[in-house]
Amino acid sequence: MIDLRTTYLGLDLRSPLVVSPSPLCQDVGRIRQMEDAGAAAVVLHSLFEEQITLESFLLDRDLSDGTESFPEALTYLPDLHEYNMGPDAYVEHVRRAKAAVDIPIIGSLNGVSSGGWLRYAKAIEQAGADAIELNIYFVASDPDRTGGAIEDQYAALVRDVVASVRIPVAVKVGYHFSAFGHFARRLVAEGAHGLVLFNRFYQPDLDIEELDVVPTLTLSGPYLLLLRLNWVAILYGKVDADLAVTGGVHGATDVLKAMMAGASVAMMTSALLQKGIGHLRTVEAELREWMESHEYESIHQMRGSLSQRAVANPSAYERGNYLRVLSSYALKA
């Protein structure tokens, strides 16, 4: 009997298949469908720092100042009064989702700074969330701010969120750090129970006819997986936290690679948006089929088997791969 069970953030999960945040998670009926299709847990769509700040009229006041001089300040941001759902409605959504399913529900906070908005971490916990995913989305565009100052900002935010709740907190971050391994350890030292690798940073496009900067969104593809696998494999066994892969997980092979690299769970969204929630059943069936044909009995048995500390040539995750790739490419005559 194939055993797909895993643990993540102290939660016992039936499999490593976790649904990551997307508009699909805004509907309780769809969350029920996710559970029926085999999702082991669901990370809800994010509650944004800006939404909470606007709710308390602070952002509204700040944006209104100087409107006559900088009208784009009011027009570029979306209408946050109607974006997703308000903070109180979000907390109620957590409560309803928890009541509707038996699988763990993980709330999601998206922000960059400490402050009064963090009281909603406690509200999400009180609504019944099993854990919180802190999604830190910050573009370091100020040339006067050092990398160290930005890391301090991240660390302070993680510390404050962890201190405000009793449930586990996972931190979802990008990879734009000069020494990511060291920074990962720092986040864990601040109390992070898990690391979610990696956040996707969406670059705006330029409209050369309208002379405007326009938002763009492209769903993830399997090509994004390699960077995540690389860092999970490097960090496995070196940080005292669970590791999650998000971005590029589309099929059973992707899940297997994530487990062998050292992840506890593999999160997917784009594949479900493209193929439907029922795709989870296909992935689980193919996962079981592969494990049976290759004589694996459990997820635990394979976890970390291709991590940096387990492979014969650890440098394959560092300069060894760089040299090998460059030397393997031959120009055609």
3-state class of 39 per DSSP? Answer: coil
Query: What pLDDT shows up at residue 72?
Result: 41
Query: What pLDDT shows up at residue 260?
Result: 98
pLDDT digits 0-9 by tens, 32-63: 999 999 999 999 998 988 888 776 544 445 44
3-state class of 31 per DSSP? Answer: helix
pLDDT digits 0-9 by tens, 142-166: 899 999 999 999 999 999 999 999 9
What's the average model confidence in pLDDT over 236-265?
Answer: 97
**Do the beta carbons of residue 58 and residue 41 sit within 8 Å?**
no
Query: What pLDDT shows up at residue 316?
Result: 79
Whole-number average pLDDT of the chain: 88
64 pLDDT more than 60: no
Strand segments, DSSP code E, in the chain are 6-8, 11-13, 17-19, 41-48, 105-110, 131-135, 169-173, 194-197, 205-207, 212-214, 242-246, 265-268
User: So where are the chain's domains?
Assistant: 6-308
309 pLDDT more than 50: yes
129 pLDDT more than 70: yes
pLDDT digits 0-9 by tens, 166-200: 999 999 999 989 999 999 999 999 999 999 999 88
Unique residue bearing structure tokens 């000069």: 178
Query: What pLDDT shows up at residue 208?
Result: 83
Torsion of CA 29, 35, 38, 43, to 10 degrees: 90
Distance of CA 332 to the CA centre of its chain: 41
80 pLDDT more than 70: no
Query: What pLDDT shows up at residue 319?
Result: 66
Write down the pTM of the prediction.
0.87
What's the average model confidence in pLDDT over 319-330?
Answer: 62
Residue 76: pLDDT band by 50, 70, 90 thresholds? Answer: very low
Write the CB contacts of 235 (distance below 8 Å, at least 6 apart in sequence): 181, 184, 195, 243, 262
Which CATH topology does 6-308 take? TIM Barrel (3.20.20)
Distance of CA 150 to the CA centre of its chain: 19
